[in-house]
Structure 1
Amino acid sequence: MTERLLVARLSALGDVVFAVPAVAALRAQFPQAQIDWLVEDRFEGLVRSLPLIDEVLVFPRKQWQNSGIGKPGGLGGGLRAMWGHLRTLRNLPRYDAALDFQGNLKSSLQLQQVDARLRIGFDRGVSKEGASKRYHLRVPDPGRVPRAQRDFELVRCFLREQGIEASAAPPTVAPWPLEASAVREILAAIEADTPEFVLLHHGFTPYGRDKEWPIEHWGALCKQLRQAGKRPRLLWTPAERARAEQILIAAEGSATLAPATPSLDHLMALLDQAQLLIGTDSGPLHLAALRGNPVLALYGPTDPVRFAPPGPRAHTLRAIDGDEEPPPRDRSQRAASMDALLPERVAERALTLLPA
């Protein structure tokens, strides 16, 4: 009888989102089991909000990253936090199975500290840095399939090992309740300004600079949406505020900033209110899609098949024609394909997804 399960997906936001349907399948199959999730502190809030999960085990990445000689807390602070975390993992009651959706050195070493009857992960080719050597059960690479489907294959393999035949596709995840105060604050901010709006997510990470869509393209898209009677609003974080303001200048008064989102619950509450979210292949877009919200995802250097948004109202627009897999990425600079994805194409597609 399966009573205790541990899943590991540490980061990043989009990848944590992709794993949720697979974990939902585990919960549907084992409604009475304890299901715990190992995740980085940056995404603890999202995992804690999921009713699927019983306990969240937090990898203290920020403390470790911010430790060192000359830094607040020093090297000792980070070492103490890491040692305490590993001690917590070692002292946990035994799990029937631990499933590693991350598949790298960081996740597999942490799961190795856990007492688990069965450790499951992807074989080489999907897993990296020798992680597959630490698994009892290795799942073959399922090929060019959506990430949510790939993660579900890990669950299917575990279920087959238990003598259970699973469905061919992961379940659709219903929107889950959010922190009431975050919802109230977002609704108050929206109702005081523009209750109906199109949300634009222009951000990108240093690791994904190739997915950047040009500022002038965002500005032109805002103007075209506004001319069609829509109200574009820019999603932003403190780190993205300067770029958002540059887009506002390019938009020439046709867009405004969205309300601040100080927590993931605030972000999800805002995503739930948008008529449509337009953005590149990114965590917030995939989170909106997972919650069943309409999204239009813009793809250039990343594969719209492998990184398809996980939701029934998700739509994609690719910079290049055809369905072949993109070439290897150069993450250090904006991809030429993103320059080639013109705002006129995006506006035309977006307007087909919006109410007249």
Structure 2
Amino acid sequence: MRYVLLRLLAMIVKPFVRRSAVYPPRKVLLIKPDHLGDLLLATPALTALRTALPATHITALVGPWAATMWQHLAEIDELETLPFPGFDRFGPKPMILAPYLLLLRTAYRLRQQSYDAALILRDDHWWGAALALLAGIPQRIGFAHPLCTSFLTTALPYHSRQHVTRQALDIVAALTGTPAVSTPLRYTPTHVAQEWAIAWLQQQLKPDERLIIIHPGTGGPTKHWLRSHWITLIHGLNRPGRRILLTGSPNEAEELAAIIAAAPPGVLALSQELTIDRLAALFSQASLVIGVDSGPLHIAVSQGVPTIHLFGPSDPMRFGPWGDPQRQRVVSAGLPCSPCGVFAVCPRATNPPECMAAIDPAWVLSCVESLLVSQPTKGVYSFHPTRQR
């Protein structure tokens, strides 16, 4: 029924888009409703877009929950926020008609801004594709997802397991007409955050200790690893010359405390004092970062740190680390039902989710030792904010 209604809406509105596309476009709108990690995974595409269109005015429309990820990027001229329906993890459930009223109001506002092109940077985001059409934007580029195709002028082939960073690069290439060159993920912590991280580590670590950071939290309940597994891993990691730090959001402080209570003496934890900026600065000083599929793990990748990502219900081919696979490792149990893509409750009603419970701490520990051995003199904390790895 939704598919039929969306097709009907597209047929009604298309005749009112009378402007023809121009190249190079004077104004481009990026529509990206997702969360922090997803926006970070799109930064190579932003770099490619700005390189190809240096004089184009680029506006990004993002959720307020993720704006911090793009707010300092030089590639973007203007950053606007919009509470995209269905993406607010903590807000109240909207009234039935609220998403459609918001769609019409936002489309009317955007229509006044005369954009030449819109890039829909999420392959199944029919709401964003409909917004671009209702806003009268003549060139609308996205993927040929069944719910989106009728709203687009250019619908790229849709592959459900294509990496989201590659998807974003392909969309940019479709607009510019030239292949988009991939670059690393990019997030630069502020100088203030870097100074804070250095000062904190100077107080907590001995010189030449290796810092290993564990970030156990994530937004999807089925993506969590077992607390007992984290505790087992920490005991295995705990050796002279290493300092283990647990990080998380303020909402995750209780879980971090529970892990710390069963961990060896000397394990550290940070949550209340952390911001995204400070977290990135801490990651930049680590020898290794370990966690589940989450935005913070992608932030660690952006800092050039070796990482280990524990995957269960999510698809590493689609959301895995965008970096050197020798330094950015994925560990999963490889169950036949994985990846299922369901992050709220296990579809098979296993509790805890079997795909995460089946990841053996011994596997992760082996991966840790392999990564640390491969860089025997790198990543040792030396109280210098600009050290190289």
TM-score by length of 2: 0.76
Classify 1:104/1:80 alpha carbon distance in 2 versus 1 (closer, same or farther; 3 Å): closer
Question: Match for residue 72 of structure 1?
Answer: none
* Structure 2: 5+ residue stretches without partners: 1-23, 347-351, 377-389
Question: 1:203-235, CA deviations, whole angstroms, 9 ceiling, x for partnerless residues?
Answer: 122xx2221110011111111111264211111
Question: Match for residue 193 of structure 2?
Answer: 182
Classify 1:181/1:327 alpha carbon distance in 2 versus 1 (closer, same or farther; 3 Å): closer
Question: 1:74-127, CA deviations, whole angstroms, 9 ceiling, x for partnerless residues?
Answer: xx9x999988755542332x22211001232432343335342201111125xx
* Structure 1: 5+ residue stretches without partners: 70-75
Question: Match for residue 145 of structure 2?
Answer: 124
Structure 2 counterpart of 1:302, from 311, 314, 334:
314
SS of match in other structure, 1:231: strand
Structure 2 counterpart of 1:53, from 49, 65, 76:
76
- Whether 1:338 aligns to 2:356 is yes
Kept in 1: contact 2:61–2:81 (CA 8 A): yes
**Which residue type is aligned with residue 118 of structure 1?**
Q
Classify 1:293/1:86 alpha carbon distance in 2 versus 1 (closer, same or farther; 3 Å): farther
Distance of 1:79 and 1:144 partners within structure 2: 29
SS of match in other structure, 2:183: coil
Distance of 1:66 and 1:335 partners within structure 2: 26
Runs of 4+ in 1 over 6 A off after TM superposition: 78-84
**More displaced stretch, 260-269 vs 278-287:** 260-269
Structure 2 counterpart of 1:156, from 157, 170, 173:
173
Q: How does 1:186-201 map to 2 (within 5 A)?
A: 186-194=197-205, 196-201=210-215
Residue 311 (structure 1) shift: 2.5
Classify 1:114/1:47 alpha carbon distance in 2 versus 1 (closer, same or farther; 3 Å): farther
Kept in 2: contact 1:225–1:231 (CA 8 A): no
Please, what is the CA RMSD of the aligned residues?
3.1
Question: Match for residue 110 of structure 2?
Answer: 89
Distance of 1:96 and 1:250 partners within structure 2: 57
Classify 1:185/1:84 alpha carbon distance in 2 versus 1 (closer, same or farther; 3 Å): farther
Residue 21 (structure 1) shift: 1.3
Rg larger in structure:
2
Q: How does 1:262-281 map to 2 (within 5 A)?
A: 262-281=274-293
Structure 2 counterpart of 1:347, from 365, 382, 386:
365
Structure 1 counterpart of 2:35, from 2, 5, 12:
12
Higher helix share: 1
Residue 198 (structure 1) shift: 1.0
Distance of 1:145 and 1:79 partners within structure 2: 30
Classify 1:297/1:67 alpha carbon distance in 2 versus 1 (closer, same or farther; 3 Å): closer
Residue 329 (structure 1) shift: 4.3
Kept in 2: contact 1:212–1:338 (CA 8 A): yes
Kept in 1: contact 2:67–2:81 (CA 8 A): yes
**Which residue type is aligned with residue 26 of structure 1?**
L
SS of match in other structure, 2:70: helix
Distance of 1:24 and 1:259 partners within structure 2: 31
**Which residue type is aligned with residue 371 of structure 2?**
L
Distance of 1:210 and 1:112 partners within structure 2: 36
- Whether 1:224 aligns to 2:247 is no
Kept in 2: contact 1:21–1:152 (CA 8 A): yes
Kept in 2: contact 1:268–1:288 (CA 8 A): yes
Structure 2 counterpart of 1:211, from 223, 237, 240:
223
Percent sequence identity is 26
**Which residue type is aligned with residue 204 of structure 2?**
D
Kept in 1: contact 2:236–2:365 (CA 8 A): yes
Classify 1:204/1:132 alpha carbon distance in 2 versus 1 (closer, same or farther; 3 Å): same
Structure 2 counterpart of 1:258, from 270, 295, 298:
270
Question: Match for residue 166 of structure 1?
Answer: 179
TM-score by length of 1: 0.83
SS of match in other structure, 2:200: helix
**Which residue type is aligned with residue 366 of structure 2?**
E
SS of match in other structure, 1:165: coil
- Whether 1:202 aligns to 2:202 is no
**Which residue type is aligned with residue 317 of structure 2?**
V
**Which residue type is aligned with residue 223 of structure 2?**
K
